[in-house]
């Protein structure tokens, strides 16, 4: 049984961890700067560590699953506890360049860095969420991940390519979410949503636009803050390769706009993919603001 450490135990870490524990595939130790995350870890049957080093010291595999802005610093905090033979999985949604820099900081410890790109919402899949992997530890990870029931596909021995695939796919996916949001919110002002959706259906007949629009609105309402952060990473990556990030920047702004309206907080624990209900909730939040 693998000994796994999670550095950061937010939504992704908790969901993957729950799947691994449920499948009896791993022993898990967790460190998170938030006490409530450690409480959730204990409730799942994972052990809490006192700090980064304590968490990773005895691990076979380390999952780095923190916020995008703190990924490098969290990795550096792990370095004193890392050793030769460990696999260090960076699953954060950050730029390829950030992952290259992080891999360079991990390399002197002897631990093998793995660039992991999570390619679907984690919740429906638990630990079986589809991932792309690359980097010096990717090939060694493949058979071990499969033994745990995980779905990981090898991309390259080069750090950054797996993350690049996810990042540039996000220009399309999260951009489409922002477009659907803007279109439906504007259409609701004139009560023509159904006509707009019918027109989209005529143009793209293979897509269920009623269902798709509700799903995409829910993703923005529930995860706009995280999506905005990821799109800002995309924008910085585009700048670095000489492409002005017009679309990525606008997508980040629209996703952050919804997060700042706090629509999710107003809906509470209830999750809905009803397009009309979500548009109404956003309009209520706008009116309050």
Looking at residue 1, its pLDDT comes to 87
How far apart are alpha carbons 99 and 103 in whole angstroms?
Answer: 6
Architecture in CATH for domain 2-158? 3-Layer(aba) Sandwich (3.40)
User: Strand pairing of 131-134 and 152-156?
Assistant: parallel
Domain positions in the chain: 2-158, 163-288
- For 163-288, CATH number out of 1.10.1040.10, 3.30.2310.20, 1.20.810.10, 1.10.150.170 equals 1.10.1040.10
- With beta carbons less than 8 A apart as the criterion, state whether 236 and 167 touch: no
Mean pLDDT along residues 46-64: 96
pLDDT interval class at 265 (50, 70, 90) = confident
Structure token pair of residue 112: 């093998």
Count helices and strands in the chain by DSSP H and E runs: 12, 8
User: Does the structure show a pLDDT above 90 at 270?
Assistant: no
Residue 174 contacts by C-beta under 8 Å, 6 or more apart in sequence? 227, 230, 231, 251, 255
pLDDT in tens, 13-45: 999 999 999 999 999 999 999 989 999 999 999
Looking at residue 268, its pLDDT comes to 80
How far apart are alpha carbons 250 and 4 in whole angstroms?
Answer: 38
User: Does the structure show a pLDDT above 80 at 289?
Assistant: no
Residue 111: which of 150, 151, 72, 141 has the closest Cα?
141
How far apart are alpha carbons 203 and 201 in whole angstroms?
Answer: 5
Show the DSSP H helices in 79-160 as ranges. Answer: 96-106, 138-147
Looking at residue 232, its pLDDT comes to 94
Sign of the CA dihedral running 148, 153, 155, 159: negative
- Cα angle value 253/167/218 (rounded, 5°): 55
């Amino acid at each position: 049984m693998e000994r796994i450490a999670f550095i950061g135990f937010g939504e992704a870490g908790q969901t993957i961890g729950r799947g691994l524990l449920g499948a009896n595939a791993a022993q898990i130790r967790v460190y998170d700067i938030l006490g409530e995350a450690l409480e959730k870890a204990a409730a799942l049957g994972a052990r809490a560590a006192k700090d980064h080093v304590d968490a990773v010291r005895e691990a076979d595999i380390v999952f780095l699953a923190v916020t995008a802005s703190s990924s490098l610093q969290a990795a550096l905090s792990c370095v004193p506890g890392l050793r030769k033979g460990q696999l260090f999985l960076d699953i954060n949604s950050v730029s390829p360049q950030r992952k290259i820099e992080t891999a360079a900081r991990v390399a002197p410890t002897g631990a093998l860095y793995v660039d992991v790109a999570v390619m679907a919402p984690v919740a429906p899949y638990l630990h079986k969420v589809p991932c792309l992997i690359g980097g010096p530890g990717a090939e060694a990870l493949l058979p071990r991940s499969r033994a745990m029931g995980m779905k990981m596909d090898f991309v390259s021995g080069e750090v950054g390519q797996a993350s690049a695939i996810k990042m540039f796919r996000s220009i399309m996916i999260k951009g489409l979410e922002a477009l659907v949001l803007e279109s439906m919110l504007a259409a609701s002002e004139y009560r023509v949503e159904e006509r707009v959706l019918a027109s989209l259906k005529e143009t793209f007949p293979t897509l269920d636009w009623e269902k798709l629009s509700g799903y995409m609105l829910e993703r923005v309402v529930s995860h706009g803050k995280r999506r905005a952060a990821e799109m800002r990473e995309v924008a910085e990556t585009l700048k670095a390769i000489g492409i002005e990030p017009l679309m990525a920047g606008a997508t980040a702004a629209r996703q952050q706009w919804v997060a700042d309206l706090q629509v999710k907080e107003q809906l509470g624990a209830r999750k809905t993919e009803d397009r009309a209900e979500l548009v109404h909730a956003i309009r209520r939040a706008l009116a309050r603001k």
